[in-house]
Structure 1
Amino acid sequence: MTSNARPHVFFLMCDELRADSLGFMGNSVVQTPHLDELSRDSVIFENAYTNCPMCVPARASMMTGRNPLSNGVLDNAMRMVEDEKPLPDLLRKSGYTTTMFGKLHVHRTPEECGFDEFKFGYPDPNTSFLGIQDPEVRKKATFKKNEGDIPLVIHGESPTHPDQTSCSRLTEDYIQRMERIAADEKPIFHYLSLMDPHTPYMPTKPYSEMYNPDELPLPQNAGRTLADKPITQRYFHKVRGFDKLNEEDYRKSLASYYGLVTHVDDRIGKVIARLKELGLYEDSLIIFTSDHGSMMGEHGFIEKWGHMYEPVVRIPLLVKLPGNLNSGSRLDTFAEIIDLLPTVLDAAGVDIPEEVQGMSLLPVCRGERKVHRTEAHSQYFCGSIHVEPALMIRNHDFKLTVYPEQESIHEKLYGDHYLKYSAFFDQPLVEGELYDLHNDPYEERNLFDDPAYAQQQAQLLSKLTEWKAGLGPLADYRGLKQANMKTLYKFILDQANNWTKVSDALKADQGLTQCARQKREISVEL
């Protein structure tokens, strides 16, 4: 036990890990024995949600305890409002040692976030999220990329040895740092952020051979039509080439994804085992979660983009309390990723800033309360094609999403974009979704325009409006005023006519010479 009973905090985070891909969450196919074991000592949140199913906004929400509409990070290209107070900084100022291993991805440096020590990790020796780099290795490899914007590897096999993957090497470094904790006088916030199971969905052997695609059950909504869905979903489905995929792709993607999940489970297992060997496990707070989930063929999507279906917004969440209090408890009350900052601060005895919108989970973990939240919220925004974010609210029975001002998508497209002035935009405009999740868990029947459900829609819309108004001052999210201009995002340029804004921002960047501006590499960071 640390001095003054302030617990060590081991924060374990994955990327793109959906809640239902784990054994303790009811998946009978995927093998996750180590996380299943951790769940038996933890409080299990069965209805935890991300506040945005996109990497940077989700992580910024977790780090600030505030919604994207408030902290300014609504999409992957936007940076945090300057006066936001990240979790590590609050802990460091209160006497914690703060360490980070892995992916940060909030468009602030680790120092700016408050980390004393940090290591971003290692590039895979053979692959990136866009594929295999070496042409000779690529010729011998088996993989497939989606044929459209942001072409990522959606299934395949990595030639990298399992002990040499980025996640494996990073985990070893994380464990080595744990060896010095016992001698530390201060409690530690020890953050491990693993990339897997994010794309590329290319597990290495033996994980690539663990799951037979032909034997995997697919959801009943795999490849389903999007005719009754908002245009944002139909747009991303089209431009990313998902309309060219078939059942074989869904099955192979799922097999590859499950392989990565089991690979991650083995890495987490090593962390937990060493914590126990070092005597650090029992009295520590351990949190395991993910930033968002991923689609595996549902509605014809692989990965994410443009929607807020359950596979992408629902995330796993385990909270192992010091002393394993209430171990194995399963809670169906709602939790959000913004609740993690106040939970850690509460456990550490640190005052929670007044502007934090999340709420500590400790009262429900300890059994002092039965209900944490009665609804969950999320949002989706792509600054290159939207002027207003889509918003989501769900309770235990119904889920409502609203997609305002979708006409902006067509207005922002290049004049020569292949969808400009096409019949694609002549389809009926669907302004939102309403699902009866009790009777329609796969979100197949959109009840948004069904008069029989007008009352449920009006009630949820009223609550959503009230929730947004209760956030207080909102960030200025229109345009690219807060965009991170150190990295240009290719999809900003491809998906909409934002070159003028980007060009102006570049000219204002006094840290670059004209030559450097001309040679700047356009890249995508997901």
Structure 2
Amino acid sequence: MPPNVILIMTDQQRADSLGCTGNPVARTPHIDALAARGAVFRNHFTPHQICSPSRSTLFSGLFARHHGLTRNGVALPEDLPLITHDLKDAGYRTHGAGKFHFQPILAGPEHEMPDSNAFWELPQSEGWTGPFYGFDKVDILIGESVSATEGGHYANWLRETAPDAAALYLPENALEPGPEDLDEVWKSAIPSELHYNNWITDRACGFLEEQDGEQPFFLFVSYPDPHHPFSPPSPWCDMYDPQEVPAPALTADELAAMPSYILDGDREEAGKSYVDFLRNPGPPREQGFMQTTQRFSEVSLRQAIAHTYGMVSMIDNCIGRLLAQLEAQGLAEDTLIIFTSDHGELLGDHGLIRKGPSPYRPLLHVPLVIAGPGVAPGTREGVTSHLDLRATLQAHLGLENRRHDGQSFQAMLTAADACGRSHLYAEYHPRTRMETYNQTLLTEEWRVTIYPENPEWGEMFHLTEDPGEHVNLFFHPDYTAQKQAFIEQMDREFPPAAQAGGPSLATY
């Protein structure tokens, strides 16, 4: 029988947030133990730094321009073949628990989309558990933090289990007052046992308890954290001393040489906070809510970072429970386990927070740990992409090789010294400001980003000399020839597609 597969995904987690990836303070013993017996991919990237496009690319093996979900607020076509369909056709039982985000959260009831809050007000939501994008059954959670209690199976469960508990997620009910200059930071009063991370883990463990070893399974376990707001519950909100977390990486005035929209965005973000937006979205705003940290005190920013680490450790604890359940079922030796995230978080680097159009490394660079049958332990330095995961699983599990844009890195699973990609592409499709559409070419030595709708903008970083991407060389005369060669390569291999994608159904 082929091995089982568990895909664990977090939301907005940086590659450098784990002990096994070199973080000096992160306490992630369970993920680190998984890494010790598996492969740690040190240069793994997503081609899209926004939630829905990245998740859809991982599952489909297609760039967003090809699968259609180019921006949050667009729905992934329901007839598109995904890795779940590959596995079902090979005899796998498929189940998902947690955040999917294949459809707009705010899609209207007329669309009848289970990934939207409105669906859960319809009569047909009663008792609904799937099928859903190739999953036989799902336990759906929608959103994160204060927005996770409105629709989906988790919201229904919380109302039935603890009718008044939803209000405990709100910042006004926090365990103690948060900083006035950064309202996304608070210590959530929701008891840990009622928190959605533990609910997701309970549902995943319940699925594992049902397995008898006679049919292979695919289990998707998807945590909404450590996505902002930065609001973990106790004890995780107090796990890290804000003065001991790594400080953001930035240099003086580095944003002055970057595209002007980065500093312009501060004006939009000053109008309404992200928490207010979640409660009452109003007009569309650009995806990611990127802004500078100049209005935040160092104390507040460090508290946000400490809370992010707390959320990471909470998820690690949940993964420990999941792995213990797998072991108790006698399935550990026969299960391929994949841990990753959809995209990263700026977290103060470059003087910026959250995410946005600019494809900085903290946004595209995500963790990837794979352990299980056929995987040789050790680190992998070669470049890999979310785009390649479907092709890799097809090769590693002997599935039918269906159409995709990726290339298999299955050789890297079995041999630590196997080569990765020579380069990869990334792309950002905006929601409101079309000139921020951009394309990126990334190699081990360079990152070049162009804005086809605005040639006055561009980004070019020599990663060998400047791995932190602090010195923009795009308009430096000494690099004109090198830049032009990269632009011509992009035009040949990955030409602009600013208008690609399906219709926007909602703000997100």
How does the TM-score come out when normalised to structure 2? Answer: 0.81
Q: Return the match for 1:298 from 336, 342, 349.
A: 349
Q: Return the match for 1:335 from 380, 384, 388.
A: 384
Shift of 1:98: 0.6
Residue by residue over 1:424-449, the C-alpha shift from the partner in whole angstroms, topping out at 9 and shown as x without a partner, is xxxxx841111111221221111000
Contact residue 222 and residue 297 of structure 1 kept, 8 A = no
Q: Return the match for 1:43 from 34, 39, 42.
A: 39
Match of 1:15 in 2: 11
Contact residue 171 and residue 188 of structure 2 kept, 8 A = no
1:477 aligns with 2:497: no
What is the correspondence of 1:365-376 to structure 2 with a 5 Å cutoff? 365-367=413-415, 370-376=418-424
Match of 1:410 in 2: none
Shift of 1:332: 1.0
How far apart are the structure 1 equivalents of 2:181 and 2:471? Answer: 27
Deviates more, 1:244-253 or 1:204-213: 244-253
The aligned amino acid for 2:421 is R
How far apart are the structure 2 equivalents of 1:222 and 1:310? Answer: 15
Shift of 1:387: 5.9
Shift of 1:20: 0.4
How far apart are the structure 2 equivalents of 1:122 and 1:106? Answer: 11
How far apart are the structure 1 equivalents of 2:499 and 2:405? Answer: 18
Q: In the superposition, relative to structure 1, how do residues 365 and 205 fare at CA in structure 2: closer, same or farther (>3 Å)?
A: same
Contact residue 223 and residue 298 of structure 1 kept, 8 A = no
Q: In the superposition, relative to structure 1, how do residues 360 and 403 fare at CA in structure 2: closer, same or farther (>3 Å)?
A: same
Q: Return the match for 1:215 from 244, 253, 257.
A: 244
Shift of 1:58: 0.4
1:463 aligns with 2:489: yes
Q: Return the match for 1:434 from 460, 465, 468.
A: 460
Match of 1:114 in 2: 134
1:347 aligns with 2:390: no
How far apart are the structure 1 equivalents of 2:344 and 2:174? Answer: 31
Provide the secondary structure at the position in 1 that maps to 2:475: coil
The aligned amino acid for 1:197 is P
Residue by residue over 1:99-141, the C-alpha shift from the partner in whole angstroms, topping out at 9 and shown as x without a partner, is 01011111275634111011014888x8337998567953764
Contact residue 173 and residue 188 of structure 2 kept, 8 A = no
How far apart are the structure 1 equivalents of 2:133 and 2:317? Answer: 29
Percent of aligned pairs with the same residue?
Answer: 27
1:59 aligns with 2:88: no
How far apart are the structure 2 equivalents of 1:476 and 1:137? Answer: 41
Shift of 1:82: 6.1
Which stretches in structure 1 are left out of the alignment for 5+ residues? 148-152, 407-428, 490-524
Q: Return the match for 1:382 from 430, 435, 458.
A: 430
Which stretches in structure 2 are left out of the alignment for 5+ residues? 104-112, 115-129, 151-165, 271-290
How far apart are the structure 2 equivalents of 1:129 and 1:245? Answer: 26
1:264 aligns with 2:315: yes
How far apart are the structure 2 equivalents of 1:222 and 1:156? Answer: 28
Q: In the superposition, relative to structure 1, how do residues 306 and 368 fare at CA in structure 2: closer, same or farther (>3 Å)?
A: closer
Q: In the superposition, relative to structure 1, how do residues 314 and 8 fare at CA in structure 2: closer, same or farther (>3 Å)?
A: same
The aligned amino acid for 2:173 is R
Name the count of aligned residue pairs: 446
Q: In the superposition, relative to structure 1, how do residues 136 and 211 fare at CA in structure 2: closer, same or farther (>3 Å)?
A: closer
Contact residue 104 and residue 193 of structure 1 kept, 8 A = yes
Shift of 1:222: 6.8
- Greater relative contact order (Cα 8 A, min sep 6): structure 1 or 2? 2
Match of 1:201 in 2: 230
Shift of 1:217: 3.0
Contact residue 346 and residue 355 of structure 2 kept, 8 A = yes
Contact residue 122 and residue 170 of structure 1 kept, 8 A = no
Q: In the superposition, relative to structure 1, how do residues 224 and 141 fare at CA in structure 2: closer, same or farther (>3 Å)?
A: farther
**TM-align CA RMSD:** 2.7
1:69 aligns with 2:99: no
Match of 2:264 in 1: 235
Residue by residue over 1:154-201, the C-alpha shift from the partner in whole angstroms, topping out at 9 and shown as x without a partner, is 322111122221011110110111011125x32111110111111221
Shift of 1:83: 5.0
The aligned amino acid for 1:252 is Q
